[in-house]
Amino acid sequence: MATPIRVRGAETLDTTFEQSLQLLVLLFGNGLEGDVRLEGSSADAVLALRALVTKVGSCESIEPPVDSTLYQPGDECFRQHPEARVFLCPTPYDASQS
């Protein structure tokens, strides 16, 4: 079963492909270079992204920012380091609308 995710500013990644998953793990494990917004196409994808952010990326929960064009109301907000924040949409998006 494909569990595509959207990374704002990038193409949709299908995490059933090992290379896509490796890319995400490397991005978070090595440290992000800026803000990112993540969206999952299913509840399972959102759970996987949350685990990626908090466990692999060691991101800490933060208050919603006032200075980001990526943040959308309702997003879960995290900080990996002073120059990298992660905004996770907790509601799966409709992949058929992409």
DSSP calls for 31-94: --SS-EEEEESSHHHHHHHHHIIIIIS--EE-PPPSS-SS--TT-EEEEEETTEEEEE-SS---
What token pair was written down for 63?
A: 């208050």
Q: What is the pLDDT along the chain (98 residues), one digit of tens a residue?
A: 334 445 554 555 565 556 777 888 888 889 888 888 888 888 988 998 999 999 999 999 999 999 988 899 999 999 999 989 999 999 998 766 65
| pLDDT of 1 | 32
What token pair was written down for 85?
A: 């924040």
| pLDDT of 45 | 85
| pLDDT of 55 | 93
| pLDDT of 22 | 82
What token pair was written down for 10?
A: 């990038």
| pLDDT of 19 | 73
Does the pTM surpass 0.75? The reply is: yes
| pLDDT of 20 | 72
